[in-house]
């Protein structure tokens, strides 16, 4: 019997959908400001579905994003809110872990946009210092380039908690980061910073098998959680985009998504879950399939 960690699914997109509000460049941060209890509701639904980890709604909590709307002073308060909402859901459920999520500092899928390494390290370090006493691990998400990876890993270095690094690959070529750099070229950073797990996230599920073949060679726990977007559009790659520039796939229901994820397990993955547009129903079906296959969800 294999032990499998079942992550939750989409947090940000799920919050935007449930709020029913107009999409803004602040994405799920705006929802958390306007409807903070929705965050706990989403975490609770994932725990009920079978997930064992709550990923904090902190992906987009960065100073530069808040500066645009004169809310930079609220950064640490918002981090505290995200932590409190995850903790409330975990405590009500009675078990589970909290992953402190760290997203790209400037924009998702934009490897051309990244602050200097020393500033990136400091910005991540500020978040880590605020979160580390309240989380069980750190989850660095949607890393598009080697430079992004280095800044985030440097910012979490020595934090005293496990660090999981999640990389995003090109939709049509899972062997490359979205920067075009070879995924295998992450090797020196893995050797230097020694993250506790390597993951592929926010990529098309069809691109993930090739990516897993690359990262499994690092001899660390590995896995994946894919998105359900049709593609990453040019409109979303503009400055300060809103998520209505992205379209949800209609061919990736819970059963189909679980088919993909079970294939990743066949490759040796031990950590699976979902990213954008993968909701509680998908995680529930995946949990059912894991149990039916005799796996132990941890």
Q: What is the pLDDT of residues 45-81, one digit of tens each?
A: 999 999 999 999 999 999 989 999 999 999 999 999 9
pLDDT at 36: 97
Residue ranges for the chain with pLDDT beneath 70: 240-241, 243-245
Q: What is the largest CA-CA distance in the chain?
A: 52
The span from the CA of 36 to the CA of 85, in Å, is: 8
Q: Beta strand 197-201 with 53-55: parallel, antiparallel or unpaired?
A: unpaired
Query: Torsions phi, psi of 197, nearest 5?
Result: -155, 155
CB 195 within 8 A of CB 164: yes
Distance CA 253, CA 231 (A): 16
Q: What is the pLDDT at residue 240?
A: 67
Q: How far is CA 178 from the centre of its chain?
A: 16
Strands (E), the chain: 3-6, 53-55, 97-102, 137-143, 163-167, 169-170, 173-177, 197-201, 222-226, 271-274, 296-297
R_g of the chain computed on alpha carbons: 17
- pLDDT tens-place string over residues 109-148: 999 998 999 999 999 999 999 999 999 999 999 999 999 9
């Amino acid at each position: 019997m294999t032990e499998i960690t079942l992550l939750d699914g989409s947090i940000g997109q799920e919050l935007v959908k449930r709020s029913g509000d107009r999409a803004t460049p602040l994405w799920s941060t705006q929802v958390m400001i306007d409807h903070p209890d929705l965050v706990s509701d989403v975490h609770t639904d994932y725990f009920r579905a079978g997930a064992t980890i709550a990923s904090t709604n902190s992906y987009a909590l960065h100073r530069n994003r808040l500066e645009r709307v004169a809310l930079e002073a609220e950064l640490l308060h918002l981090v505290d809110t995200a932590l409190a909402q995850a903790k409330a859901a975990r405590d009500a459920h009675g078990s589970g872990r909290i992953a402190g999520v760290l997203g790209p500092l400037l924009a998702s899928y934009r490897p051309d946009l990244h602050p200097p390494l020393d500033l990136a390290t400091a910005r991540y370090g500020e978040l880590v210092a605020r979160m580390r006493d309240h989380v069980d691990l750190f989850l660095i998400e949607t890393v598009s380039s080697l430079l992004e990876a280095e800044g985030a890993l440097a910012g979490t270095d020595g934090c005293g908690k496990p660090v999981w690094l999640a990389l995003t690959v090109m939709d049509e070529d899972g062997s490359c980061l979205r920067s075009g750099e070879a995924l295998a070229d992450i090797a020196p950073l893995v050797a230097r910073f020694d993250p506790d797990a390597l993951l592929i996230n926010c990529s098309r599920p069809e691109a993930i098998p090739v990516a897993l073949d690359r990262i499994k060679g690092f001899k660390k726990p590995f896995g994946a959680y894919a998105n359900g977007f049709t593609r990453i559009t040019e409109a979303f790659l503009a400055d300060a985009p809103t998520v209505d520039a992205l379209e949800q796939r209609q061919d990736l229901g819970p059963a189909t998504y679980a088919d993909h994820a079970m294939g990743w397990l066949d490759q040796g993955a031990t950590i699976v879950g979902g990213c954008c547009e993968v909701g509680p129903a998908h995680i529930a079906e995946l949990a059912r399939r894991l149990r039916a296959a005799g796996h132990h969800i941890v």
